[in-house]
């Protein structure tokens, strides 16, 4: 089984959307993949995803109502094969907790799947508008499509 973790700052906007999209897609494709998400900060631990992100998800046939925020911990390195950060700050916070080079190799920016080597960020929509949540949804939909095809062709294992 492939195990994939999506990580942002609060685990209430970007990573739950990425998590929910990839969960739906792996189920639709009958793939043996475990998907989860976490935040590098602890501000929102135990909370549901942001109402605006949940509405955006629903409008796009994806339900993330069951997800609850949790904080990323160093033990996630042994629980997951691939760890995707939404932006450079999250990436740095994750890398800081790595114990060895093999931990570090598991981590990448999610949008590097969409535009390799460009180190683009999924912008934080928390203080943004409806349009920002839409933009985040579209970026994550495209990026999780690439992750899905890589799982299918065995590039991500």
Instruction: Give the catalytic positions in this structure.
Output: 8, 14, 124
Q: Which of 66, 2, 74, 5 is nearest to 31 (CA)?
A: 2
Q: Which is nearer to ligand 4NP, 14 or 106 (CB)?
A: 14
Q: DSSP states of 84-150 as a string? A: EESSHHHHHHHHHT--SHHHHHTEEEGGGTTSTTS-------TTS-HHHHHHHHHHHHHHHHHHHHH
Which residues between 31 and 50 bind ligand 4NP (CB under 6 A)?
39, 43
Query: Does 82 interact with ligand 4NP (rule: CB under 6 A)?
Result: no
Cβ-proximal residue to ligand 4NP, closest one: 10
CA atoms within 13 A on the CB side of 12: 15
Please answer whether residues 143 and 121 qualify as being in contact, where contact means their C-beta atoms are separated by less than 8 angstroms: no
Candidates 98, 120, 126, 145: give the one binding ligand 4NP (CB under 6 A): 126
Least gap, CB of 111 to ligand 4NP (angstroms): 14
Query: Does 11 interact with ligand 4NP (rule: CB under 6 A)?
Result: yes
Burial class (CB in 10 A: 0-12, 13-18, 19+), 118: exposed
Least gap, CB of 133 to ligand 4NP (angstroms): 10
Least gap, CB of 135 to ligand 4NP (angstroms): 12
Candidates 4, 5, 6, 13: give the one binding ligand 4NP (CB under 6 A): 13
Query: Does 92 interact with ligand 4NP (rule: CB under 6 A)?
Result: no
């Amino acid at each position: 089984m492939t195990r994939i973790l999506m990580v942002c700052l609060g685990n209430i906007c970007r990573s739950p959307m990425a998590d929910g999209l990839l969960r739906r897609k792996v189920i639709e494709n009958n793939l043996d993949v475990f998907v989860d998400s976490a935040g590098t900060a602890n501000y929102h631990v135990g909370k549901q995803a942001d109402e605006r992100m949940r509405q955006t998800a629903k409008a796009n046939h994806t339900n993330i109502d069951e997800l609850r925020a949790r904080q990323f911990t160093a033990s996630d390195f042994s629980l997951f094969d691939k760890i995707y950060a939404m932006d450079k700050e999250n990436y740095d916070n994750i890398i800081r907790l790595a114990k060895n080079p093999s931990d570090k190799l598991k981590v990448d920016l999610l949008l590097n799947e969409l535009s390799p080597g460009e180190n683009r960020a999924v912008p934080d929509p928390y203080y943004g508008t409806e349009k920002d949540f839409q933009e985040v949804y579209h970026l994550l939909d495209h990026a999780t499509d690439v992750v899905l095809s890589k799982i299918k062709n065995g590039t991500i294992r």
